[in-house]
Every structure is written in structure tokens, then in C-alpha cells.
């Protein structure tokens, strides 16, 4: 019975570790997107010339103000998504730490 509970805790721990890795990958992706948008916004600010946007394999002339506004909105959405990911990541990290302690205590009791 006790070993069954331990096995369940280990499986839950492994599942949480996998979820944690998935959140880390999502967080990394949102940070990359955010950096790309920041770079694009900086380039738009630097130029007085025409600006273009790439859609698929086509480059279209775009209104500078409209494109800036769109990119800023997209950045806000990515930042919100990143905040949500960080909250979920922290919650999972806390659960992982709690399970790690329980598993370690259980293993120490078995050794005695």
C-alpha cells in the first residue's frame, strides 16, 4: 500500500516535471516573439521611409502608425501570456518541491 502511494507520487512528480518543461519552452517562445516585436518597433521608429509587413511570402506596404499600433497590441498580448505562463510555472514549481520533499521523506523512512 505504501509503495503504491510512493509510486503514485513519483508518477505525479514526473508528470509535473514534464509540464514544467513545457511551460519553460512556451516561456522561451514568448520571449523570442517579444524580442522580435521590440526589434521591429525599434526599426520602425528609426525610419522615416515606407514600412512593409511580410504576410506569408508576400511583402506589402503598410501604414507606419497602424503597423506600430498593431505590433504594440501584439506585444501586450504576448506579455500577458508570458505572465500567465510564469504564474503557472511558479505554481508547478511549488507542487514539484512539495512532492520532492514527500518522496524524500518517504525514502528516508524506508531506509531506517
pTM of the model: 0.78
Domain that holds residue 104: 22-111
pLDDT at 42: 96
pLDDT at 2: 58
CATH at 73: 1.10.287.370
The number of folded domains in the chain is 1
Taking the CB of residue 85, how many other CB atoms lie within 10 A of it? Answer: 20
pLDDT at 1: 53
Residue 16 lies in a domain: no
Taking the CB of residue 44, how many other CB atoms lie within 10 A of it? Answer: 15
The tens place of each residue's pLDDT in the chain, 112 residues long, gives 557 768 898 999 999 999 999 999 999 999 999 999 999 999 999 998 899 998 899 999 999 999 999 999 999 999 999 999 999 999 999 999 999 998 888 877 777 6
Amino acid at each position: 500500500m505504501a509503495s503504491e502511494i510512493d509510486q503514485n507520487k513519483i508518477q505525479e512528480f514526473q508528470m509535473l516535471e514534464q509540464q514544467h518543461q513545457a511551460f519553460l519552452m512556451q516561456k522561451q517562445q514568448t520571449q523570442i516573439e517579444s524580442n522580435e516585436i521590440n526589434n521591429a518597433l525599434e526599426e520602425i521608429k528609426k525610419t522615416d521611409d515606407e514600412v512593409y509587413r511580410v504576410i506569408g511570402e508576400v511583402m506589402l506596404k503598410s501604414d507606419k502608425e497602424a503597423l506600430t499600433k498593431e505590433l504594440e497590441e501584439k506585444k501586450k498580448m504576448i506579455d500577458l501570456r508570458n505572465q500567465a505562463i510564469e504564474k503557472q510555472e511558479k505554481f508547478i514549481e511549488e507542487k514539484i518541491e512539495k512532492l520532492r520533499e514527500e518522496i524524500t521523506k518517504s525514502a528516508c523512512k524506508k531506509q531506517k
